[in-house]
Amino acid sequence: MYRRILVPVDGSGPSDKALAVAIRLAKEQHAALRLVHVVDVLPPAGLDGTAFIDFDTYRDSMLAAGREIIKRAETRARAARVSAEGKLLETLAHDVSEALVDHAKRWRADLITIGTHGRTGLARVFLGSVAEGVIRHAPVAVLLVRTGEARQKPRVRPGRNS
């Protein structure tokens, strides 16, 4: 039985679907939700490494957007009569999955419910996968919710008569 379900939220389709699954599970299990949004406050570097970004303005806008994402997720959970609390985390290391796993440990989560695009191949290599990082290092069970947006095409395997 799950009592403490951590749900990373970022406002994307996969995140929204994972939130819906977590809300349903929390209702069934009488569990509390922790809705976590991680902001990487280190601005991306320019292609030539010379781009200038006002750090304070960038950080403030990213944190404001994160607070809004959490607010919407909390509203959805509370509309379903599920206990939910939002948490905004900051990282400078570009490692969102590490921040999520560390928070799951500190909050003593029983389960992490996370959405994924289901990217494969080069898309996954170049874009990375927060979900994959969470799965690799999570101290608790992880419920991976796929959206089907990037379903893998069936592979054709040559047979004897090919």
- Residue ranges of domains in the chain, CATH in brackets: 4-146 (3.40.50.620)
Full-model pTM = 0.81
d(CA 162, CA 154): 17
In tens, the pLDDT along 121-150 reads 444 443 458 888 899 999 999 999 987 654
Which residues are CB-contacts of 148 (< 8 A; sequence separation ≥ 6)? Answer: 118
Instruction: Quick: pLDDT tens for 65-88.
Output: 999 999 999 999 999 999 999 999
The mean pLDDT of 93-116, rounded to a whole number, is 93
H helices of the chain, where?
13-29, 55-79, 96-107, 121-127, 130-137
